[in-house]
Amino acid sequence: MILASRSPQRRAILDQLGIPFEVRIAEIDELGEGPPHEVVVENAYRKAAAVAGGVGGAGRAGGAGLTRGGGTTEHGRNALGELILGVDTIVTLGGRIYGKPADVEEARETLRALAGRRHAVLSGVCLIAGQRVRTAVSTTLVDVRPLEDALIEWYLATGEWSGRAGGYAIQGRGAALVRSIEGDYLNVVGLPVATLLELAPELLGVP
């Protein structure tokens, strides 16, 4: 399998599962606005399609009507015969998408917005193999603790917010910000394993 992502968290999860893969990355223009379910699927599709030799965003890979916890859609596409995985993860609250903060001030504003509230972490998953495209969305609900300014500044000082959707990493010190979750923990980390295996159970090599 080819992983179309530079995320070390996604690589670590695949290693944990014992799924053989290699990393190939193609630069794309990611969507940052729009209906959250459609945005994550489109971005995941663009990542996989670009590596497959297509043009990212040449056509939507679905999104409307995708269901929580791994509803799937399939579309035809000419591509390489290798299995290519694209994933995109965002945080959304009140219809607004919180991606990776551009700087510490944006990270601070994001954490203040999430403090004491429940937000959703959405991951779009796209698998391309030959002419077959499979897509799905996974959703996890995250309750963030009320955050005093001192705790926010402590977390910002770690630098862990950089490159993280929503400005925190639940698998690291960001765990101190979270009260509880409902759904797939690994989805919040960056790769919803249950959804991936629903799309491609053959990845585990189980007869």
First to last CA, the chain: 18
Measured on CA atoms in the order 167, 20, 61, 45, is the torsion positive or negative?
A: positive
Phi, psi of 72 (to 5 degrees): -125, 155
Which helix (H) or strand (E) segment holds residue 121: the answer is strand 118-129
Of the residues 15, 29, 88, 184, only one is catalytic, namely 88
- State whether residue 187 is helix, strand or coil: helix
Separation CA 117–CA 161 (nearest Å)? 18
Residue 149: active-site member: no
Instruction: Check if the beta carbon of residue 4 is closer than 8 Å to that of residue 85.
Output: yes
Catalytic residues: 88
